[in-house]
Amino acid sequence: MAIPWLQADTPLPPTSWALDEHSEAPGLLAAGGGLSIARLRNAYSNGVFPWYSPGQPVLWWSPDPRMLLRTRDFRLSHSLRKTLRRFLRAPGCELRFDHDTAQVMAHCAQTPREGQDGTWIVPEMQAAYGAWARAGDVHSVETWMDGELVGGLYGVNLGRMMFGESMFSHRTDASKIALAGLVAFCRFNDMPAIDCQQATGHLASLGASPIPRSDFEQEVRALAARAPAPVWAYDFRMWDTLDLGVPADSPPVAHSHDLLP
């Protein structure tokens, strides 16, 4: 089956048109159409996302099944729990939201996806998602130590649905701290699901699991329309949703240089 080519005003085809698991590109739905904010918002509202490499046109995807992390199922390992406790009590350690989303995307662009060699976050994608961030739907969760951005992630938030895009880490566990922070924020703000797009062993180890595309699309439509998106502001109380046992007035116990080698 031929892949539809989209003009700027061509609507996305039904996701049932996406190539199946027997094809060379399972989940590929369409090509072209540009990356306007209106196009991106419409695509994500229907469970579709762009993903392509340098030299390719914009490619639109709707995999079946879809990898989804339900925030209640997030697996917080014993070692990460200890790291989070130290991080939250150490001078110079901060979790920030939307402080430098452009820098987060630039770092993520230098970090290939699991099982891939090159980047998919091409300059055109960075520009489009940067504009979407300024419009209010793209957000970053950032791990900072002694004034340095050492890890983080970014994603799309529509209503009460979160779509994870990419993460990076320049120190051990720095991206996991950001992910734990995202999960805590989502739990705190009644956001029950984070789209992970495609299955990887790492995501499965954190509690994500595949669900049928039809179920995923139903969930996206319900959550994106349930209520307005939350205010993306850091609140220490969100960590209570992970049962870390760190009170807000807990004194520092370690210098930040001791935490993440």
**pLDDT of amino acid 107:** 97
128-176: pLDDT as tens digits: 999 999 999 999 999 999 999 999 999 999 999 999 999 999 999 999 9
**pLDDT of amino acid 245:** 81
What percent of the chain lies above the pLDDT cut of 70? 91
Residues near 140 by beta carbon (within 8 Å), at least 6 away in sequence: 97, 98, 99, 100, 101, 104, 105, 133, 152, 153, 154
**pLDDT of amino acid 246:** 72
- Show the domains of the chain with their CATH numbers: 5-63 (3.30.70.3550), 67-258 (3.40.630.70)
Whether the pLDDT of residue 220 is over 70: the answer is yes
**pLDDT of amino acid 254:** 47
**pLDDT of amino acid 153:** 98
20-33: pLDDT as tens digits: 999 999 999 999 99
**pLDDT of amino acid 253:** 47
Whether the pLDDT of residue 223 is over 80: the answer is yes
94-122: pLDDT as tens digits: 999 999 999 999 999 997 655 555 568 99
- Confidence band (pLDDT; 50, 70, 90) for 41? very high
**pLDDT of amino acid 114:** 54
Whether the pLDDT of residue 248 is over 60: the answer is no
Whether the pLDDT of residue 252 is over 70: the answer is no
Average of pLDDT values for 178-201?
Answer: 95
- Cβ neighbours, 10 Å, residue 211: 17
Q: 0.85 exceeded by the pTM?
A: yes
Rounded Cα distance between 202 and 176, Å, is 11
